[in-house]
A and B are shown apart, each in its own frame.
Chain A
Amino acid sequence: MTRHPATLALSDGTVFRGESAGFLPATGVTTGEFVFNTALSGYQEVITDPSYAGQVIAFTYPHIGNYGVTGADDESPHPWCDGVVVRELTARASSWRADGDLEAFLIARGVPAMTGVDTRRLTRHLRVHGALAGAFGHADPEVVVAAAAAARGTDGCDLVSRVSIQAPYERGAGRYHVVALDYGIKAAMVRQLAERFRLTVVPASTSALEILARRPDGVFLSNGPGDPAALPELVAEVALLVGRVPIFGICLGHQLLATALGGSTFKLPFGHHGSNHPVSDLATGRVEVTAQNHNYAVDVAGLAGVRVTHVNLNDDVVEGIASDERRCFSVQYHPEAAPGPHDARYLFDRFETLIADAAGEGR
């Protein structure tokens, strides 16, 4: 693989060196919001997670690509992230599961990348200064720096409409029917739901009325990219569903539900991106190690009739809420894992119980 010297610049003017890798854009420069992810494994799932739309992912673990890629690990048909930054991109895969090398995958899927970067310095910078917009590429350094200065982050951006599907599809064959709103849904969520329910995945733009017309036993609000505050229309539809049907939300779905219940969201300094976040289940006192990927979090002030069910033990961020009365609950983290620990998969069972209870009472 021939490599070209490349530059990475953040909007505050900080510059890093490295080499271009993956897909080489004709302009020689790629912009986005820079975030870091600390997971030691699961790079393919991260790269294909639609929640990263608009973002450039810096992996803190230095060797990325060791075990290649496989179709089985795609979280969506296309990577939605704007770029990937690593310390050391592994040229060739070693795994019985692999059907290709990571770099070939990045090229084929049009993902620009950069290798040889002091990603620890980048991470420390982002930790102190927060997620920053920036640019990288093999164009002249001045060009990259200028692009970085002009780049903007995800604040106020509606990225959901970019990543959501156009037409509904169905999966699974359970007793209950769940409609999942695809704000950027991960394949692992679809798998977890389809194992338990008859599932209809619908575009994010689907209205509450259209959803209710499908006579769901429960509604699932998926993860997705960007700033929840930029999505008032979606919140309005969720608000119409609350109380009428059991709801389970994850990540962006959690933020939209909380907002619909009267809460609000705020941007975290540098977000939670990794597979090792300890979350306390306040009902049991048990700790679950969770996969997380969010820049925004829920502020519970203003929420009435809602209890906080989970908190992040690292920084006390609200990780889960529930309203028994309105039969809805949501979590900020990723119980479907992929990548990440399986500790929180019980939440899908909890959703099933919630639906069954509601169905039982309704009859």
Chain B
Amino acid sequence: MGRREDLRSIMVIGSGPIVIGQACEFDYSGTQACQVLREEGYRVVLVNSNPATIMTDPSMADVTYVEPLDVDVVAEIMERERPDALLPTLGGQTALNLTMELVRAGVTERLGVEVIGARPEAIETAENRELFKAAMSEIGLRVPESGFAHTVEDALAIAEGIGYPIIVRPSYILGGAGTGIADGVASLRRLAAEGLAASPIGEILVERSIAGWKEFELEVMRDRADNCVVICSIENVDPMGVHTGDSITVAPAQTLSDVEYQAMRDDAFAVLRRVGVETGGSNVQFAVDPATGERLVIEMNPRVSRSSALASKATGFPIAKIAARLAVGYTLDEIVNDITRATPASFEPVIDYVVTKIPRWAFEKLPGAAPVLGTRMQSVGEVMAIGRTFAESLQKAVRSLEQGRLGFAAGPNREFSGVDDDELWYRCEVATPERLYALHEMLWRGVEPDDVARRTRIDPWFVREMSSIVEVERDLHGYADLASLDASTWRRVRQKGFSDTQIAAITGAPLDAVRSLRRRHAPVTFKTVDTCAAEFAASTPYHYGTTEDESEVSTSPRDRVVILGSGPNRIGQGIEFDYCCVQASQVLRELGYESVMVNCNPETVSTDYSISDRLYFEPLTPDDVEEVLRAEAAACVDGARVVGVIVSLGGQTPLKLAHSLDPHLVLGTPTRSIDAAEDRQRWAEICRELGLSQPPGGVATTLDGARAVAAAVGYPLLVRPSYVLGGRAMEIVYDDGDLSRAMGNLTGAHGALAREGGVSAERPILLDRFLEDAIEVDVDAVRDHAGEVYVAGVMEHVEEAGVHSGDSACALPPQTLSPTVIETIGVATRRIADVLGVVGLINVQYAVKEGEVYVLEANPRASRTVPFVSKATGVPLAKVAVRLMLGATLAELRAQGRVPAATPHPRHVSVKEAVLPFNRFPDVDTVLGPEMRSTGEVMGIGETFGIAFAKSQLAAGTRLPDAGTVFLSLADRDKSGGVGLARQLTDLGFTLVATAGTAAHLEAAGVAVAERVHKVSEGGRDATGLIASGAVHLVINTPSGRDAAADGARIRHSATVNGVPCLTTLAAGLAAARGIAETRAHGWRVASLQELTG
């Protein structure tokens, strides 16, 4: 049927900030869509609020709007751009919801914009529970029976019709409170009563329980000629009851016979046709009763999803790319499979390996959240590993997680070794992030795999395969002398996924000895992901490591550079580093090098095989990376060589790996400089030599040492470990009691750092005087090998120092810093970069207090803000850095027009705001502190700071109110500054309510306060009640020290639960007031990046 000629311009909506449940996978799908649509000659208009994405790189679309994904804003963009069509199926739930809002608001119809990919009616059918249920019954498919009850008697009657066991879910509750499974009338009576009480509207869903059933997912595609194909089947290791995003999953399905699989395939197509997805990718989830094979449809998503990203990486079939082509009119048979380049896309990929995905959670960052997995997704990232067998891929996946575990087989330090059998059974039966390792311990203790399967309801096939790993682990323990093992034994050990380090840990043999023996007997081979199980010749250079007869890396006469990626998304290390790695790959190819990517995160753009000349989907461990480098070296012919390895663009993960690499291979800043910046003493010496002020501080490995530092520098103190990212385990302490608790947390045997090697003289605890009320400043710069430095951007934080830079809003250019301070900061940055011998990127953080500039820390590597600065200034910083690492000078780049002569001073203001996961974790305090907790970020761009700030808030999901009541509770230090703010708010027409102290201060200054509310701890009509009643529209509550924390926490909690914007610093409050005033005066004033920086 071919490309649609009636369309010229297509709008693509991205998925906004990274949040739990919506991560880089939509950058991957959106980027693919943009590429394809431009290849097809369409004008692409992109909207996404997330500056860290690759898709918002100005080269990816014709017009790029980094603007809030809000119906009014997008309508304004549509009005300006007049696209012919809107493609909503590649930007996750966010894009789908926004599209439905645009449709309902009549915007698409008014502007004549056609929604392509999925019709609104199809979206509605898939998303609306009742419509979906009806549609399924129409085509003879079954969904779990359920009904809503408002009384216990209702519930019993519904259960009578369905049959037990029954799951009870109260409506409109957060965090699963009141949910439970009833196996009979008595327990249902109790649960229903509890559930009705827990639900704010007194309603519970009474549903047939299928917890413990097997869960499957099919990734399917359909074109407008009604051709349907399955791209990938996925089986969950965790049975029903755990959200798919939180489940360990495997592709392809392992335990379905062809008869069952084909029936499921028929059902999936029937669902696709009935829901009415005309073109594109969808997924359909099924539950299967392991005892009878009965099959229920759980849900379908009429769009690409996290699972389709996984399926694309698992099979090599680029679902999003194909979906974009289908949306503009092609049929599957008209599209060439770009792996074989000889066969069409209208086939079903087959694979000859096993893929395992394991989620990564961040409960350690969210004290108060119970680490139990359920029907709400809580993980922040995931890893995927490829092996020839499930056992191999499982072990590779565990070590890809970078959580200090060597594999599924734990080696000598088994974390559950001290747990008694009863407790261990509990740990196996309840799904938690650690369940997998409890299963290992259970099998290690010799419990029959089938008993474990029965009690956990994990399919026996998976448990037996896990057990086969434990058997080899036991054998390894028994080998007295590794040198006597024959090749077939080595092969058997390796084929169960054991790494050299793991073998060394288990046997106690030296790593070097293990490595050389293993290489002799069982060398690593790299196989290819090719969509067709080797049936056709593949031109894709997408490899995974295993131990077999034959390696498939093809030789080439070109020099190559290896990029180490950033591994699984986690709080503190996410998409921004993937952005940098992808930019690196692009520039390497421009420069004529072969780019070689190593990464294990299936969500990312960097693991798209078309981004690099070769992709190795491998764990980022010294063992695995070493083997990739050997394979690359071996594939060099005609004098080609591995020029180097880029370790400075992927966050902490590759930096840690740098120590295991030949120093000559590390491109750019030498590893020892990175270490110097991390080493407390050396860094202090450097600052002294350079005459830079630092907050006073010291290092300690024990509590006594810490007390000595405290005595010397005074409280409050910022306490943090060395070599961690995202301020992990960092906190501010106000007295001796705080300090001893904090040190206990850090140094204890089960402390925050236990699995990362603990605290040592090499990795001491850092203690610094915390500068209260200071302004924090972030600087990104690059330096060339000749010594020239280009300061790319100076960012002023909106939150005061002490809030982790990743959680703080910041503005570029700085809004309150004097030219002298900015100049001082520029000079200091140059000198630090010089003394560290930086070649490439450096990020320096400063605190400015009363005009004095203090250096907080320097990181000679890519920072989280690199994409933000790149987009705010129009200079692709990561690309510039890679050119410098490979020998270019800034002078040359300037001459080529790649770098401006001086730090740009854009006329527009850019504000970066963090997005926090608190709505997922209602029991967690929402106060910001030195430990980073945000999952993602957004960018607001405006002609003024106020507009940019208001946009950043809107993009982060907080629409600042235009009228109503503001609740103010200010710390003493903020009270005088708060008067101006209060005045601005009343001038804007807001009514003020305040706590007694704040109110007294404001009234004394002549500002009217409508109502005084009690402090939460005083009882009576307090702020939480007021917020819950809907009487407050904006909360400005600034914390002060530790004592007000309890009150503050409850206020913020109430605001979060009730969806009221809550600002926790005076600076943010002032920015908000300006934003409200300026958007009221000028509207949103949308503008594209190309207009702003072009």
Contact = CB atoms under 8 A, between A and B. Distances in A.
A124 B550 contact: yes
B389 A63 contact: yes
Contacts of B229: 289
Contacts of B291: 96
A213 B956 CA distance: 81
A62 B353 contact: yes
Contacts of A97: 257, 259-260, 293
A40 B534 contact: no
A341 B532 CA distance: 16
Given A5-B488, A41-B257, A314-B343, A60 B352 contact: yes
A300 B640 CA distance: 50
A158 interface: no
Contacts of A45: 258
Contact of B343 (A17, A127, A313): A313
- For chain A, the bracket of interface size reads 35 or more
B350 A39 contact: yes
B550 A118 contact: yes
Given A62-B389, A63-B390, A120-B533, A40 B351 contact: yes
Nearest to B254: A66
B532 A339 contact: no
B544 to A, nearest CB: 11
A87 to B, nearest CB: 6
B319 to A, nearest CB: 16
B181 interface: no
A353 interface: no
B1018 interface: no
Top 8 A-B pairs ranked by shortest CB distance? A42-B258, A339-B258, A60-B533, A94-B461, A118-B549, A276-B348, A41-B258, A121-B550
A94 B254 CA distance: 10
B1010 to A, nearest CB: 67
Interface residues of B, number: 56
A313 B340 CA distance: 13
A314 B536 contact: yes
Interface in A70-118: 70, 72-73, 87-88, 90-92, 94-97, 118
Given A276-B347, A341-B265, A124 B258 contact: no
Interface SS majority for chain B: loop
Contacts of B290: 96
A340 B258 contact: yes
Contact of A72 (B225, B259, B262): B259
Contacts of B534: 36, 60, 120, 123-124, 127
A332 interface: no
A308 to B, nearest CB: 16
B71 to A, nearest CB: 39
A216 interface: no
B255 A339 contact: no
A269 to B, nearest CB: 11
11 contacts: A41-B256, A42-B257, A63-B254, A94-B461, A96-B291, A96-B292, A96-B293, A118-B548, A275-B258, A278-B344, A314-B343
B332 interface: yes
Contacts of A94: 255, 459-461, 464
Contact of A67 (B226, B257, B488, B527): B257
B222 to A, nearest CB: 11
Nearest to A284: B225
Contact of B350 (A61, A63, A118): A61
B415 to A, nearest CB: 28
A99 to B, nearest CB: 12
Interface of A: 5, 16-17, 36, 38-42, 44-45, 60-63, 66-67, 70, 72-73, 87-88, 90-92, 94-97, 118-121, 123-124, 127, 270, 274-278, 280, 285-287, 289, 313-315, 337-342
B1015 to A, nearest CB: 60
Most buried by A among B257, B351, B353, B390: B257
Interface string B241-277: 0000000000011111111111001100000000000
Given A61-B350, A120-B534, A313-B333, 5 more contacts: A38-B533, A87-B352, A127-B536, A314-B344, A340-B258
A61 B351 contact: yes
Nearest to B292: A96
A286 B389 contact: no
B262 A340 contact: yes
B388 interface: yes
Contacts of B459: 94
Contacts of A72: 259
A60 B262 contact: no
Contacts of A44: 257
Interface of B: 225-227, 229, 233, 252-262, 265-266, 290-293, 331-333, 342-344, 346-354, 388-390, 459-461, 464, 488, 527, 532-537, 548-550, 552
A278 B225 CA distance: 14
A313 B344 contact: yes
A277 B347 contact: yes
Nearest to A70: B257
Contacts of A278: 332-333, 343-344, 346-347
Interface centre among B255, B390, B548 (most CB of A within 10 A): B255
B255 to A, nearest CB: 5
Nearest to A92: B464
Contacts of B351: 40, 61
Nearest to B461: A94
Q: Give the residue among A44, A278, A285 with the most B Cβ atoms within 10 A.
A: A278
B532 A67 contact: no
A274 B549 CA distance: 24
A342 to B, nearest CB: 6
A41 B261 contact: yes
Nearest to A43: B258
Contacts of A60: 350, 352, 533-535
A276 B350 contact: yes
Given A289-B348, A313-B333, A40 B252 contact: yes
Nearest to B459: A94
Most buried by B among A66, A119, A285: A66
Nearest to A93: B461
Given A118-B549, A313-B333, A314-B343, A342 B266 contact: yes
A154 to B, nearest CB: 20
B1080 to A, nearest CB: 56
A190 B347 CA distance: 27
Given A66-B254, A94-B460, A278-B344, A120 B550 contact: yes
Contacts of A123: 352, 533-535
B734 to A, nearest CB: 57
Which of B254, B349, B353, B536 has the most chain A CB atoms inside 10 A of its CB? B254
Nearest to B532: A38
A39 B258 CA distance: 9
A73 B259 contact: yes
Contacts of A67: 255-257
A16 B549 contact: yes
Contacts of A63: 254, 354, 389-390
A90 B461 contact: yes
B44 to A, nearest CB: 28
B389 A88 contact: yes
A119 B549 CA distance: 10
A106 B129 CA distance: 47
